Each structure stands twice: as C-alpha cells, then as structure tokens.
Structure 1
Amino acid sequence: MRQLSILLLTLLFISCSQQDAHVEYEVASTTYEGQPALEITLTTSPDPDGTTEILYQNSAWGQEDLYNSLKDPVLLSAQGALEVNRDSGWIAIKHGNNDDPLRLQYTLIQDTPFSREGRDPTYRPIIQPEYFHVFGHNLFAIPKHLSEDTQTEARVDIEWEGWSDKQIIHNSFGSQERNQALRGITWQEFHSSIFVGGDYRIHEEEINGNRLLLAIRGDWIPFNDTEVREVLLKTVTAQRNFWKDHSQNYFTVTMRPFSLDRGSSYGGTGLTNSFATSMSNNSETDLSQLVHLFNHELMHNWIGHAIENADEEAQYWFSEGFTEYYAVKNIAKNEIGGFDINYLLDHINEKIRLLKASPIGEAPNSEINYENFWRDREYSELPYRRGFLYAFYLDSEISRAHQGEKSLDDVMLKILKNANESDEKIDRVSFLKVLKEFLPENPEPFFEAHIEQGKWIDFTAHFEKMGLDFEVGAELFDLGFQASEDGTEIIAVSPGSAAEQAGLKAGDQLASRSIYYGRTDIPVELGVRQGKAVNKLSFYAVRNADIPQLSAADKNRVLLTP
C-alpha cells in the first residue's frame, strides 16, 4: 500500500510538473505607431516563489539592444506588478502567492532599417507589411522557472490569431498550422527556431516518406524557385543517403532576399528542424553560391551537430574543414547544380592556393581560439582550408591503402555510429582511434605535424604518390598591405607588392575600399585620402608561388571520382 501511495504521489508530481511547464502564446498582426508589428500574448503558470521572471534576451546571436524591438509589455491578468530590466534580459512579475495563470502581452517591431550596403538585420526581428521573419528567441519570451531546467520538456501551444488563409504561417515546427501544439522539444530547441509569414511561397517535397519544405519569398534575379527546389532536394537526398539517416520527418529551409548594391553576400543558420537562409538579390549572386551554402550548412546536421566537438574551436579543423570537404565532394559526386568531378578538383587547387597565401597558414592549431577565430579573417578561414586539405589527403590515402574498397567515408560513418551509440565527441583521441582502423601506418605523427603544429603538407610529393597529373606554379592572392583594425589607415605595405607599385604607403588614410578576398582576377580598388583629395588606386592583389596544381586531365578525373 505504501509503495502504491508513493507511486501515486510521484505520478501526481509528474503530472503537476507537466501542467506547470505548459505555456500558451497568441500571435496577432497589428501596428505600432504606424508601422507593422506583431502582438504576442503569453499565458503561463506563476513561479511558486511569488515572482515570475520572463526572459527576453537583450543580447543574443551577436546582436545587442534587442529590447529596442519590444514595445509596451503589459500584464493582462489582474494580479501582479511589472518590472522590466533590459540589461539582465528579464521581465519580472511580482504576484505574491496567487497561483492564477499569468498573462503578459507585448508588441514586437522591426527596430533596424534595411541597408543596401550589406548591413542587413537578419538576426533581428524583421516585420514588414508584406511579411515577417523572426527567430524564436526574438519572438517568444519564455518563463525562467520553466526554461532554466534543461530536463523540462517545453510544452508550448501557439495560436495564430486573425491571419487570413492567403497569408502564409510557416516555421520550424509546421506549415500553415493556425493552432500548433509543440511537444517533445527542449526550451533551447524552441528558442532555436525560425518563424516566417506573409507572402512566402511554400514548396513541399518528399524524401523516403519525410517532408522537406522550402519557404521562399521575393522576385529573385540570380535564380528561380524551380532551380532552388532542385538544388535543395538533391542536396538533402544525397546527404541523407550518404549518412544512411532518414530519421527526420519534417525539415524546412526558408529563403529571404535582401538588397546589396555591390558584391554578393549570403549566409544561413542551422536551427531546430530547419535552416534559415538570407542572400543578396543581384546579378553578382549566382546559383553556385546557393549550391555551396546548402551543401556546407546542411552537412552540419551531422558534422558539428550529431557529431559534436569536444572543444569547439580546437576541433574546427574537423567540424568546419571536413564539412567543407564533404560539401564539395557531395556536390561533385551527385552533380548538384550541374557540377561534376572538376568541381572537387578546382576546390582542391583553390584551398592549396588560399592556405599557402595566408600569412598564418602554418599557425599551430592552438591559435585557432575563440578570440582569434571571431576577430581575424585569416584565423576564421584557416580551419576550413587546413581541415579540407587534411580530409582530402586522408581520403586518397585510405582509398590507396584499400585499393579503392574503403575511403574516408567509412571513417565518417564509424564516427557517427560512435556518436549515436555512446555520445562520443570528437577530439584528438577519439578521431585517431577510429582512423587507425583504416590506415596501415600510425596516423598520429602526421596529425601532430600538420594539424596540431600546422605544418604545410607536401602536396607535390602526395600527388606524385597518388599518380595524379599536376603542374607547379600558381598565382596567389596577396593584398600587399595591412590596415588598422577599423580599416581606416594603412599600417604597413609589403615591399615589392602590387600595392606598393600602385603607390600605396604606410600612413595613408582609407576613404573607401573594394576587395574581393581570394580573387586574383578582380582588382582591389582603394580610395586614399591625401589632403582634401581622395585618390583612386587600383591593382591586382597577386603574387606567384611554386605550389602544385592538379590539371584537368582525364587521369585525374578518374582517380578523384568520389
């Protein structure tokens, strides 16, 4: 009887906990001082300690002052006093011991205007008359006493009020659902999501019985919906087939265009059941950029997500470099976007050039830390280039050792299996343990020299050993000068560089600059302030180097065929 009583009390406690964890949201379209807005009403149970704190992050995802987009928080329930502390990110409701549900209402606006110079407010709430584009953490404030427990299931109901059938409501958890009941997710997964609506166009595909949706808006210059759908479908199908993983029954990609007068810019964010993309919409953006974006970022569903780094920046050579290699290999193998094996060959050559041209190309892996990676362009690119070339080296070495019967693919699948079965994360020890199963020689000395210490791999010797056809000699991107951190002053100019020959000097003040990093075929254009005048300087950022480059010979296409 005593055991039965304990069981009943336990079930009652679990039931009460689940009841407490339930949060309801109502989302309606409105206006605020003449501009389009969203009105959100939150209903939740109060914190038993007498004060309920509601989180709306003022700083998140590289954005500051997000409270500028939140207007007029008001308590609709009868009891309680409201206190907003934007610096701490909490809205405190003091209600005493009253256990009646709390109802908090607030309005959300777009607080940052659009720009044609690349400063697009992608990671802030975007709310326009025609559409909205908001990430979960920017849209939904959440109760602290529920969300701070990482084991608590987020039981969320969302009601989209007053939206017509012609208006799209689409997000990480469903499409065109006006009443959503979200279960089986964490609060982190709820916040790491995308919500869009308005004049989006929805395209749906099916892969092995699972739903794949594309939500896209705008009139695109570089491509049309059909081309995007084909690239997305081929990419997701190929990746899931490679990883032998068709477990995700719902996945969506959102695409939003933005204006940019010059150059191209694109990016995406991996989220719960979704990937949010924003791209410049002009003639300098093309389908190849979309192909690469989809294949690299969606590959992170496995490399970087299912297979986690033990120490984030320390394993970027894997999570970013190997992702880059498999994105390119996936494109070439499956001819996504009309590319073929030459796409892989070109990227091998490019990565060799870029790594050799980098002033920190042989920096030790220990220097790829949080501060350097997010502060310095060269450190940001280093693990992509180094990891890509290491992955290519291993792929060809394993294939050679097993007469083409095995490759780096088998290593990756084994690593994924270990991650799924024992939550094993990637570090030096776990990676080398698997790699030793597929190579006849101990891979540790090579790893120590070329990943940990960062030494240059002798690709001339490697190409010869693999029987690949190549030439020695290439043009490398070399800017030839160093600018101040804010980009306004020339600190140093390399002797003999194209920049020096063009007349650039240390101490020159920069009024403008146009640089296509990594491109030797597009001139660097600088506006140099001399007195009251601004003189225009133009030069090609290039120097020659004795490095190997694979040829387009049929022999290479056969040997490199994935």
Structure 2
Amino acid sequence: MDYHLSWDGQSSILKMDIFYNDHGNDSTVFVFGNPQAGGQPRIFDILGNLKSENGEAIEIIKSQRKIVVQHRNSGVKTLHAEIDGKLVPDQQRAKVNEAFRTTVAPGFFYTMGYQLFMYLRDTSYNQIGIKWDHWPKGMPYLISTNPEAKPDELQVISYEGSARNEIMIHMSSNMMITKRKLDGIQHYLVTSKSDTSSGVPDKLKDFMVTFMPSMRAFWNDRKAPFFILSAIPLLSEVPTTMTGMALPNGMSVRYRGPLEKDKLRIVAHEVSHNWIGVNLKIAQNGMENNWFNEGFNDYIAIYNLVKTGLYSKADFVNYMNYENLTPHYSSSVGEVPGDSIETNFFKSVLYERLPYHRGFIYAFYLDNQLRLASGGKKTIREFLQALNANRNSDGATVLTKADFVRVIRPFLPGKDISAEINRYLAGGQYLDFRKIKLIQGFSIQYEQQVPLLTLSDQVNLQQVFR
C-alpha cells in the first residue's frame, strides 16, 4: 500500500492518494483515526472529499469511522482522501487536538503515523510506502524513517501496528536541524526558529550532548543508524505544557513554555523509550503491563538524569515523593487491578498515571533489592542489560512476564518475583515499605499512610547511579 501526499504549503488541507490492491475481495474496509488518543470521538470529522477510482461505490459509516469501497473488478485501486488539519479555536481542546491530530497550517505540517495512516482489516498488507507528489519546494523537511530523505523519495515501513504508528513527518519554513555525532552515531536535533524566547533549542543541544552518551553507556548500546530529538512548539496559544512520543531511533515532543524540570523529564522519558517501550517491552492485551513499558522506563530516565547531573539529589527525592509515592498511595484508584487501566485511561488522569507510578515505585524497590542481594555489585542496570540480551538472543520483538521472571531469577535467588508481579503490579496491592529493607542511607517513613523517602547527607546519589 502506498500513500502519495500533496500539500501547497499554505492551506490546511493535506491531499492523499492511497494505492492498494483489493486482493480479490468484493470490498475493502478502511478505518480512520483513534478516538481514544486524546479522547477525540469526532476525529473522523477532519477527513473529507473521499473518492474512489472508476466510480466504485463508497459507503461511509461515520459512527465506526469506516470507509467501505465496493469493488467492480480486481486489481490495484486508488482511494483519494483529504485531511483538514486546521487548528481549532476552542481553547479547552486546542492542546489535545493539535497534539493528537495531523496539523496543517501556513508554512507548517506535522503528523505522527497513527494520526495519518488508515487501518485495514485485510491482513495481506505488510508494508506501507510514503511519498510526496506535490509540496512547497525548498521548505525544510524531515521524516523519521530517514532524516536525509527528500519528500519525493519513497520511504517504506512495516504495516505492523507500532511501526505504522511510530513515525513522524514534519515540514516547516521555521524548521532548524542541528547535526552532531555522538558515539559514532549521527544525531539530529530538530527545533524551530519560531521559538525565540523559551531557550528550549539551546538547552536541548546541551541535553543531547550530555544525556545521550549516558543512556547508551547505561545499556552498553552504541549501535544505531541515527537518532532524532525533535522539539517543535505547539502553534496553539496554550499554557506551558509538553507532550511527546518515542520513535524508532528517536523521539518527538510538542511544547509551550521554557524547559523546566518536568519538561526535561518528559524529554528524557521519551529518549529512554528507545530501549524500554520500543525495543524492549512486555506483551500485553491492553495496558496491564505498562508498569514496565512506562513505569520502569520513567525510573531509568530519572536514573540517568541524576547520573548526568541534570537532576540533583533533591530533584530525585521530590520526584519520588511528590510525583510518585504521594499521588499513588493517596489515590482512590491506586489498588485497582492492572487490567482495568485501559478502559479508563483516557477518562481519568488517575488511571493515566497509575502504570507510571506502579512501575516507577517497583523499579526503585527492585533496584534496591538487586543492590542488597549482590553487595552493591549488581543494580537494575545489569538486570535490564540481561533482559535486553535475552530479547536479542531469542530474536523476539516483545517479551513476556515469564521472560522477566526467568532472567531476574539468578539475580535474586529464592525471591518469588512472579508472585510479586501478580500481587503488586497486576493485582494492585501497595508495597509495604515498613517491611522492606533499602540500601544504606535510604529510608522510608510513613506519614498519614503515605511512604516518603529520605536520603542521608552521606548519600552521593550521582555516585549511586553511576
């Protein structure tokens, strides 16, 4: 299946010609948009001017976001569609709509794969091609599959879900691309000339040089074709914010305002996803294992922020206490089962944060147990490297909870990690830190049923996370 894209550089309309094969079927069913992403039940409304070649009949089932093309004969077909990517004036929806929809404005185009590509029930497709037929010549351009590619160079990606979703395409008259080789890998920092006051572009240059080598050293991984760090301001006038997504060999965030501590954490979190969440993840039916894919990832991001000095000892304690322990142990949904998260994820911020909190707190606990069991010789780093090596040796794209348990068993002999996962991460029971030993200098005391971490003055946290 090939997507041929066209845009004049000024309007809010993206034109698409989708070439596909009916594979002998009487009809082809396309499904557009993900209403769960950002809570957008009206996502189908941005799609219009649907046409099929040779007058083949099209049935639009709006309530199901379906386009059904009835075929007259077999062969290669073309479906024409247009996306209206204009900004919305509703300030309550402005951030969400721009973050979770294709954005098309004068001199500006930005989309992620899940916002652009249609889903087909036909399982015969295994690749998607992307190519521009018409575009504003000379306008800076970047596609995350190949940062050096020109708009009219065909890019081919897997049709598999995550590959189809995790792709970024950006074209803008204000785009700036800064190149820097780190550990022999070409890095692309993508920012915007439109941001003249926040200091984000310059601060991200320093972040890239400091944080990226730390992450690669943590994983002992210095192999990648390239890496993209993209930070593009939101066009909508909204309060300071940031939202992001990981990409294979990169990440992208949209933001407003300066790069304060929490935005720095978001950038680090999305960078860290290139290991946990993209290349190393635990299979799940919904979101029941996001304790690992999101929560463990967040812990490793903070771990490396401390290691590089970008987060202080006080920053770590504050993040642990007031962004994880306090909201989790005082949450009205803190003990719900993991398999209830997906249904409520976009309905409640409490459910949205639940897998992050559970995973972060358990990763902190596990890191401490690994250090204690080995006399300080092994940490969560060695375990995760072993887990990643297990994935590489098996050639698996995703792991199972059984893989997690099997790999950690030699690190913590005699400890029933499977039971802990079922009790604390799947079942929702709180870890009782009154019964848990931590490494020297770390202590947790309860205040009104909420555990809070303190570190002694002697603890050099940057050295602990070396």
Higher relative contact order (CA 8 A, sep 6+): 2
Task: Say what the alpha-carbon RMSD is for the aligned residues.
Answer: 3.5
The SS at the match of 1:179 is coil
By how many angstroms is 1:330 displaced? 1.1
The SS at the match of 1:204 is strand
Question: How many residue pairs align between the two structures?
Answer: 454
The SS at the match of 2:253 is strand
**C-alpha distance in 1 between matches for 2:256 and 2:132:** 33
By how many angstroms is 1:131 displaced? 0.5
The match for 1:39 among 11, 15, 22 is 15
The SS at the match of 1:314 is coil
By how many angstroms is 1:47 displaced? 4.4
**1:135 is aligned to 2:112:** yes
Q: Which residue of structure 2 lines up, in the alignment, with residue 404 of structure 1?
A: 376
Measured against aligned partners, the alpha-carbon deviations of 1:275-330 in whole angstroms (never above 9, x if no partner) come to 3311123xxx5332232112212322222332332334332322222112111101
By how many angstroms is 1:172 displaced? 1.9
**1:106 is aligned to 2:81:** yes
Q: Which residue of structure 1 lines up, in the alignment, with residue 6 of structure 2?
A: 27
Q: Which residue of structure 2 lines up, in the alignment, with residue 325 of structure 1?
A: 299
Q: Which residue of structure 1 lines up, in the alignment, with residue 60 of structure 2?
A: 85
Structure 1 length normalisation: TM-score? 0.70
Paired AA for residue 191 in structure 2:
I
By how many angstroms is 1:412 displaced? 1.1
Q: Which residue of structure 1 lines up, in the alignment, with residue 213 of structure 2?
A: 237
Q: Which residue of structure 1 lines up, in the alignment, with residue 123 of structure 2?
A: 148
User: Does the 8 Å CA contact 2:371/2:439 hold for their aligned counterparts?
Assistant: no
Change (3 A) 1:360 1:369: closer
User: Does the 8 Å CA contact 2:103/2:110 hold for their aligned counterparts?
Assistant: yes
The SS at the match of 2:154 is strand
**1:201 is aligned to 2:105:** no
Paired AA for residue 438 in structure 1:
F
Change (3 A) 1:429 1:184: closer
By how many angstroms is 1:427 displaced? 4.9
By how many angstroms is 1:226 displaced? 1.8
User: Does the 8 Å CA contact 1:80/1:96 hold for their aligned counterparts?
Assistant: no
Q: Which residue of structure 2 lines up, in the alignment, with residue 491 of structure 1?
A: none
Q: Provide structure 1 residue ranges, at least 5 long, that are not aligned to the other structure.
A: 1-20, 475-543
**C-alpha distance in 2 between matches for 1:558 and 1:177:** 43
Larger Rg: 1
Measured against aligned partners, the alpha-carbon deviations of 1:518-553 in whole angstroms (never above 9, x if no partner) come to xxxxxxxxxxxxxxxxxxxxxxxxxx6675431461
The SS at the match of 1:119 is helix
Measured against aligned partners, the alpha-carbon deviations of 1:32-88 in whole angstroms (never above 9, x if no partner) come to xxx53223334455544465555544757343333422332345x5x3334241435
**C-alpha distance in 2 between matches for 1:232 and 1:451:** 33
By how many angstroms is 1:459 displaced? 3.5
Change (3 A) 1:80 1:437: same
Q: Which residue of structure 1 lines up, in the alignment, with residue 241 of structure 2?
A: 265
User: Does the 8 Å CA contact 1:52/1:94 hold for their aligned counterparts?
Assistant: yes
The SS at the match of 1:29 is coil
**C-alpha distance in 1 between matches for 2:383 and 2:172:** 45
Paired AA for residue 207 in structure 2:
V
Deviates further, 263-272 or 404-413: 263-272
**1:382 is aligned to 2:354:** yes
Q: Provide structure 2 residue ranges, at least 5 long, that are not aligned to the other structure.
A: none
**1:213 is aligned to 2:188:** yes
Paired AA for residue 339 in structure 1:
Y
Q: Which residue of structure 2 lines up, in the alignment, with residue 394 of structure 1?
A: 366
Q: Percent identity?
A: 18
The match for 2:201 among 225, 239, 244 is 225
User: Does the 8 Å CA contact 2:133/2:152 hold for their aligned counterparts?
Assistant: yes
Q: Which residue of structure 2 lines up, in the alignment, with residue 413 of structure 1?
A: 385
**1:300 is aligned to 2:273:** yes
**C-alpha distance in 1 between matches for 2:377 and 2:362:** 20
Paired AA for residue 549 in structure 1:
L
Measured against aligned partners, the alpha-carbon deviations of 1:353-372 in whole angstroms (never above 9, x if no partner) come to 333333444x1545653224
Q: Which residue of structure 1 lines up, in the alignment, with residue 151 of structure 2?
A: 178
